[in-house]
Amino acid sequence: MIVSRFVDVAGQAKMPVLELAGNYEKMATLARDRLAPEMAGMGLALSQFYIENISLPPEVEQALDTRTKMGVLGNLDQYTRYQTAEAIRDAAQNPGGIAGAGAGIGAGLAIGQQMAGALGGAAAHSSGGGPPPLPANASFFIGINGQQAGPFDLTTLAAKARDGSLTRSTLVWKNGMAAWVPADNVPELQGLFGNVPPPLPS
């Protein structure tokens, strides 16, 4: 009878499970007030009622533990680190050892990083903040012996400057430029000729 009535009292109290542990005295008072009349009908006086422990099904306790841990951790990055540490601990207790769990840990880290990146990117996009995307590597066409060649990226152009096929006077063009100009007139390309000696005088 006591268990049955206490379940009724707990349901009527509409108190979240997380708050039960801090409200044993309140729950005991409610239970005593509910039980006292029925106990009196049996010839017993119920003057005090104490709650020592409220047990929950194992799966509910596990869910509460996980929720509490996540609340303490606070963010996804820390939670990913926590999960990794837990996986390492479990792997150490496993007969297969760390090596057997390596793939799982790596997959967990990758997923966590992708989720964090996706969430961070979405937040930056929605707020309009964050750095702009990295600029694309510029590609230039060059004029060699009256023929158009390219496009070439800056790394390839640097090699051409070293072997002499690209000089300061070589005509270059890239998307957005109005006309072909000498390479020395393009600020992006001027650094390519810093270590290239000028042509020998004739």
What is the distance between the alpha carbons of residues 31 and 50, in angstroms, rounded to a whole number? Answer: 9
Residues 152 and 161 sit within 8 Å (Cβ to Cβ): no
What is the distance between the alpha carbons of residues 62 and 24, in angstroms, rounded to a whole number? Answer: 21
pTM of the model: 0.31
DSSP 53-121: -----HHHHHHHHHHHHHHHH-SHHHHHHHHHHHHHHHHHHSTTHHHHHHHHHHHHHHHHHHHHHHHHH
Alpha-carbon Rg for the chain in angstroms: 37
Peptide bond into 133 cis (omega under 30): no
Domain coordinates in residue numbering, the chain? 2-41, 58-127, 139-193
* pLDDT the model gives residue 28: 86
* pLDDT the model gives residue 179: 87
Domain 139-193 CATH assignment equals 1.10.10: no
What is the distance between the alpha carbons of residues 200 and 202, in angstroms, rounded to a whole number? Answer: 6
Residues 100 and 86 sit within 8 Å (Cβ to Cβ): no
| Pick from 160, 163, 162: nearest CA to 150 | 160
- Stretches in the chain below the pLDDT threshold 50: 98-101, 103
* pLDDT the model gives residue 90: 75
